[in-house]
Amino acid sequence: MQTSGAGSAAQAARVLVVDDERDIAELVAAHVTKAGYVVAEAYSGPDAVAAARQMDPDVIVLDLGLPGFDGVEVCRQVRTFSECYILMLTARGDEISRVVGLSVGADDYITKPFSALELLARIQAVLRRPWRSSQSPREQAPEEPPRAFGDLTIDSSSREVEVSGRRVALTRTEFDILDVLSSRPRHVFSRRQIIDEVWDTGWVGDDHIVDVHIGHLRSKLDDSAATATYVETVRGVGYRMGKG
């Protein structure tokens, strides 16, 4: 693992850049370092997981095509011990890998080729998500009673979800989407409104990323798009909570 950056981990967010092409990794790391972050590099799947354990990054910029094992497996393993943000780098048109990566816990993706400004904007957007910023502690919201929608129970304070008494393991982004939808029952949220609430108002990219996360969320809740017991699609508008 190669580390660079003028600040310390206590002063600046930590970013792990993972790409098997060292020239790309070094170029990305240089731009991220210039933006004021503490940066480390890794060039294979196993090294990426080891670096994530050692560094405890706030963000991982993760290429999918890696030696040892791929970025999807890196994401899967990192999610067993870290809630850092994961931004995947995918080849243009690599829809299957992108969807699989999001299903195992990646938060966002960016398609190659990309500009340094676009990448930094994505990193800054995830770091502005209030409950996982290394810049300042998250303000603790007052505890509220769990929200119930039929057999679905959502505890926003403990970030726990149950269906018929069965605990459901959601990724951070899946929970955040469900938390937003359930915070205003029967209100229809557009994709852009969900992005503004969950990612950031400064997020740029394809807003259909919301549909992918919604699909994984429904699958884990045993809630098909056809029946839509818990998460309803309002055609041409967006999504809202069902009555359960």
Asked if residue 60 lies in contact with residue 52, where contact means CB atoms within 8 angstroms, the answer is yes
User: Do 96 and 215 fall within a single domain?
Assistant: no
Is residue 47 included in any domain, yes or no? yes
Is residue 175 included in any domain, yes or no? yes
User: Do 10 and 92 fall within a single domain?
Assistant: yes
Please name which of 221, 229, 243 lies closest in space to residue 170, comparing C-alpha atoms.
221
Is residue 15 included in any domain, yes or no? yes
DSSP 61-111: EEES--SSS-HHHHHHHHTTT---EEEEEEETT-HHHHHHHHHTT--EEEE
Is residue 59 included in any domain, yes or no? yes
How many domains are there within the chain? Answer: 2
User: Residue 215 is part of a domain; what is its CATH number?
Assistant: 1.10.10.10
pTM higher than 0.85: no
Could you tell me the strand order of the sheet in which 59-63 lies? 2-4, 38-42, 14-18, 59-63, 85-91, 108-112
Task: Report the Cα–Cα distance between both ends of the chain, in Å, rounded.
Answer: 48
Retrieve residue 236's tokens.
Answer: 């041409």
Partners of 39 in the β-ladder: 4, 15
Retrieve residue 132's tokens.
Answer: 């996982």
C-alpha to C-alpha distance for 121 and 123, rounded to whole angstroms? 6
User: Do 157 and 43 fall within a single domain?
Assistant: no
User: Do 75 and 188 fall within a single domain?
Assistant: no
Is residue 142 included in any domain, yes or no? no
C-alpha to C-alpha distance for 62 and 86, rounded to whole angstroms? 7
Is residue 199 included in any domain, yes or no? yes
C-alpha to C-alpha distance for 244 and 238, rounded to whole angstroms? 18
User: Do 13 and 83 fall within a single domain?
Assistant: yes
Q: Which of 85, 103, 132 represents a domain boundary (last residue)?
A: 132
User: Do 107 and 174 fall within a single domain?
Assistant: no
Residue 74: count of CB within 10 angstroms of its CB: 31
Partners of 40 in the β-ladder: 3, 16
Print the domain residue range for 34.
2-132
User: How high is the pLDDT of residue 49?
Assistant: 97
Residue pLDDT, tens place only, 83-126: 898 998 887 666 666 777 777 778 888 888 888 888 898 888 88
Is residue 203 included in any domain, yes or no? yes
User: How high is the pLDDT of residue 93?
Assistant: 63
Where the chain has pLDDT below 50, the residues are 6-10, 132-140
- Angular region, 54: left φ>0, alpha ψ -120 to 50, beta rest: alpha
Is residue 224 included in any domain, yes or no? yes
User: How high is the pLDDT of residue 92?
Assistant: 62
Question: What is residue 131's DSSP assignment?
Answer: G
